[in-house]
Structure 1
Amino acid sequence: MKLRLCIWGVRTAWHTEDDGEFFCPECGGDRAYHRRTGTRRLTVLNVPVLRRGPAGTVIECTACHEQYASDVLLRPTTTRFSAMLRDAVHTIALAVLTAGGATGRPAREAAVGAVRSAGFSDCTEDQLLGLLAAIVADEGRYAGPGAGSSLGPDSFADEVDGCGSWLSIELHEALEPLADHLDPLGRERILLQGAHIALADGPYLPAEREVLEAVGRCLSLTLTDIDRLLEGAAA
């Protein structure tokens, strides 16, 4: 029996640059990773002797050792994705209340229920009203006494309408990154949660409808789909 001796070959030497946590497609869950940079080396009798150039950078799962391109880190971890969903619903609830739903108890109760279901289990009506008061104060639209104290639902009813800059910034920051990781049905469900809050105390107010249309646009829904969903929810 003859044995074949391998005289030369190419081997990749890996160097770990940093680490972190990511969603591993192979494992199907959150795992630790190493970011590794490789260098190819020519070997003679299995001994590295000459560099053959870089082998690129990979993300290696520490559990299954599968290697991926760096763009695998663009997908949020399960923990991060849950937080993004929670923050999105919270922002939409505040936006709808800001647009006119804060004066009706059914809308406030629907907002609290949606926020609790999204993950803020200790959310209360007083907390939402306090946040609304802070938003209005930041916009410079509420200067009445007691702005920093406990406020009732009617104490800033005239001031909440028209906080456009806050709505635009917060909705874009909370929803646009999330939309990239949701399928169309998931994006529709997020919009419908806002619609149910707005409809809890009656038909859409014009300002509520405008906010919900903005929510739909931030979620990358078409105008046709937005109209279909909002009209269907109100039917």
Structure 2
Amino acid sequence: MNGIARYDHVAPWGSVVWNEVRYGRRSPVLLVFGLTAVSRTVGQGTFHCPRCGGDRAFRRRAGRRCFSIFFVPLVPLWRLREDVECRTCRGRFPVAALRTPTARQLAEALAAGMRAAAALVLRAGDPADPAARARAVAIVTGYGEPGYDEAAVNADLAERRTFLEREVVRAGTQLAVEAKEWFLAQAVRIGLADGPLGEGERRELHGIADLLGMSPAYALGVIVTTEGASR
């Protein structure tokens, strides 16, 4: 079968207009080709959407560039970077968007951090003191742990120090400067529940401030101010 083909230009979208094609007939032919992105879902969950400004469902998408004819992908070429698609606004974002904690994750991290800080302060003083334990329960409950009770206090006191410190650090990464100040002040109030701060409690509070990312001078100011307000 003899064929002659000639084209005058390539359209911006990849279409080639053929002016002379003879395969046993005389008629113009439009051949449409180009590159097409083909995506598939590789994961899903909930994330903080930068565009919506709140927690939304997402799809994690992986794609590949393909050579297509008449918009039909035929030949797979190179892989594309994965991205995250919001199921609400349909916006697409880099996978790094998943690093931003959701509101629920943030609340859980703060509650866990305060539990850890309370345990550290109690261990530095008298962990059996009823007033200090009651203050710890009240403060942790206020941070979003409604089921926190005496049994939970005992469980936290039995945790490894490295674990407790890690939880405080994790909470600190989510807090603004003012929120860190309030967090430390709450830990100070736990220490003050059984009387003036002892040297061990004071050292522990400075250690908690350091884990939160506060300077020694700033921590001292918060501790002294909270002590003065309790008198």
Amino acid corresponding to residue 203 of structure 1 in structure 2: P
Cα separation, 2, equivalents of 1:5 and 1:54? 23
Post-superposition Cα deviations, 1:193-231, rounded to whole Å, max 9, x if no partner, equal 101111223221111111111111111111221112112
Cα separation, 2, equivalents of 1:129 and 1:74? 31
Structure 1 residues 225 and 171, CA gap change in structure 2 (3 angstroms): farther
Post-superposition Cα deviations, 1:84-106, rounded to whole Å, max 9, x if no partner, equal 11111111112111111434433
Per-residue deviation at 1:49?
4.5
* Higher relative contact order, structure no. (Cα contacts within 8 Å, ≥ 6 residues apart): 1
Cα separation, 1, equivalents of 2:97 and 2:74? 33
Per-residue deviation at 1:11?
2.5
Query: In the alignment, is the contact (CA less than 8 A) between 2:112 and 2:171 conserved in 1?
Result: no
Post-superposition Cα deviations, 1:6-37, rounded to whole Å, max 9, x if no partner, equal 41443311121122221212222222211111
TM-score w.r.t. length of structure 1: 0.75
1:86 alignment partner in structure 2: 111
- Structure in which a larger fraction of residues adopt strand: 2
**Between Structure 1 and Structure 2, whose CA radius of gyration is higher?**
2
Per-residue deviation at 1:117?
0.8
Of 44, 58, 65 in structure 1, the residue corresponding to residue 90 of structure 2 is 65
Structure 1 residues 35 and 100, CA gap change in structure 2 (3 angstroms): same
Give percent identity, aligned residues only. 25
Cα separation, 2, equivalents of 1:90 and 1:129? 8
Query: Are 2:143 and 1:118 aligned?
Result: yes
Number of residue pairs matched?
Answer: 200
Query: In the alignment, is the contact (CA less than 8 A) between 2:47 and 2:56 conserved in 1?
Result: yes
Q: Which region of structure 1 is more displaced relative to structure 2, 21-30 or 110-119?
A: 21-30
Moved over 4 A (4+): 49-52
Alignment of 1:163-202 (within 5 A): 166-167=160-161, 169-202=162-195
Structure 1 residues 42 and 231, CA gap change in structure 2 (3 angstroms): same
1:163 alignment partner in structure 2: none
Amino acid corresponding to residue 195 of structure 1 in structure 2: V
Alignment of 1:153-164 (within 5 A): none
Query: In the alignment, is the contact (CA less than 8 A) between 1:171 and 1:218 conserved in 2?
Result: no
1:210 alignment partner in structure 2: 203
Cα separation, 2, equivalents of 1:94 and 1:171? 8
CA RMSD of aligned residues (A): 2.3
**Unpaired segments ≥5 residues, structure 1:** 139-165
Query: In the alignment, is the contact (CA less than 8 A) between 1:101 and 1:198 conserved in 2?
Result: no
Query: In the alignment, is the contact (CA less than 8 A) between 1:176 and 1:218 conserved in 2?
Result: yes
Query: In the alignment, is the contact (CA less than 8 A) between 1:100 and 1:208 conserved in 2?
Result: yes
Post-superposition Cα deviations, 1:76-123, rounded to whole Å, max 9, x if no partner, equal 222121111111111111211111143443322211110111122233
2:100 alignment partner in structure 1: 75
